[in-house]
Copies of this chain bind each other. A is one copy, B any other.
Amino acid sequence: MTLITENKIFGGVQSVHEHRSEACDCDMRVAVFTPDGVKDAPVLIWLSGLTCTEQNFITKAGAQRMAAQLGMVIVAPDTSPRGDHVPDTEDRYDFGKGAGFYLDATQDPWAKNFNMETYIRDELTAWIGENLPVDMARMGILGHSMGGHGALTLHLKNPERFKTCSAFSPIVAPSQVPWGQKAFEGYLGKNEATWANYDATALVTATLSPANILIDQGLDDDFLAEHLRTDIFERACAESGQPATIRMQPGYDHSYYFIATFIEDHLRHHAAGLA
């Protein structure tokens, strides 16, 4: 493990580390905010969206203020494997590097490196348990857009590991929208039966989480109608009985300005669920 940067903020420390991922066969960067003096703290994993690295959330969301106040550690990993040996697309922001979709790819040439589900669920959580002053029994997960998809699916499949969940502007039904269909076909192949395992709407009809899921979605989000489709997940939750608080926010878009506005609500949601 290598320490890349370390900056004091709100009395705590915002650090960036690099550590080895076997699942992704590369070194991965991960950002960590640690409030001053915490021990056995609750911990959140933040999953970012398309094109992001570990930097976007820690520089733009303004989450450290409330995390310091609540005594929560926040871990923000990168969104895909990285390195010259990792395959990529030349002209697509929504596939390849920066677009790992929090799944384990089965198709060549992606399968060797694009195993973000295993990385987040097993390797990153093990790294957190070994290196951070947290209580692993109090871990939540949240994210934005593609990272909202990651948070919902990882929570629904592992509710005992990621006990609380929330999302901003998540891709809730990837099997039914272009962003998800293109990613799933590339990473998982054309057999749509394999897609359901990474589709929050499909998952929530099969298995329920005891936690109440919080979702904020901006009504002026340019991606809402085509790619996000909050309505599909809202209907699935209602039909299956999954507890969810889904808030459609007038005037807000897909940007970090939206996230910054409501991140305090999300941290309080997790703090209450992990108390």
A255→B255 CA distance, assembly (Å): 22
Give the bracket for the number of chain A residues in contact with chain B.
Answer: 20 to 34
A59→B59 CA distance, assembly (Å): 8
**Cβ-defined contact, A257 with B62, below 8 A:** no
**A64 is an interface residue with CB less than 8 A from chain B:** yes
**Of all chain B residues, which has the CB nearest A254?**
B7
Residues of B within 8 A of A251 (CB): 8
Given A8-B257, A8-B258, A10-B261, 9 further pairs, Cβ under 8 A: A7-B257, A8-B220, A8-B252, A9-B258, A11-B261, A59-B60, A59-B256, A62-B65, A64-B257
Residues of B within 8 A of A232 (CB): none
**A260 is an interface residue with CB less than 8 A from chain B:** yes
A206→B60 CA distance, assembly (Å): 41
Q: Among A14, A257, A261, which residue has the most Cβ atoms of chain B within 10 A?
A: A257
CB contact list, A56-74 vs B, under 8 A: 59-60, 62, 64-65
Residues of B within 8 A of A25 (CB): none
Residues of B within 8 A of A64 (CB): 257, 260
Residues of B within 8 A of A253 (CB): 7-8
Residues of B within 8 A of A60 (CB): 59-60
Residues of B within 8 A of A8 (CB): 218, 220, 251-253, 257-258, 261
Residues of A within 8 A of B (CB): 7-11, 14, 59-60, 62, 64-65, 218, 220, 251-253, 255-258, 260-261
A256→B64 CA distance, assembly (Å): 12
Q: How far is the CB of A161 from chain B (nearest CB, A)?
A: 30
**Of all chain B residues, which has the CB nearest A59?**
B60
A263→B258 CA distance, assembly (Å): 20
Q: How far is the CB of A254 from chain B (nearest CB, A)?
A: 10
**Cβ-defined contact, B65 with A257, below 8 A:** no
**Cβ-defined contact, B9 with A257, below 8 A:** yes
**Of all chain B residues, which has the CB nearest A56?**
B59
Find A257's partner among B14, B218, B252 (CB 8 Å cutoff).
Answer: B14
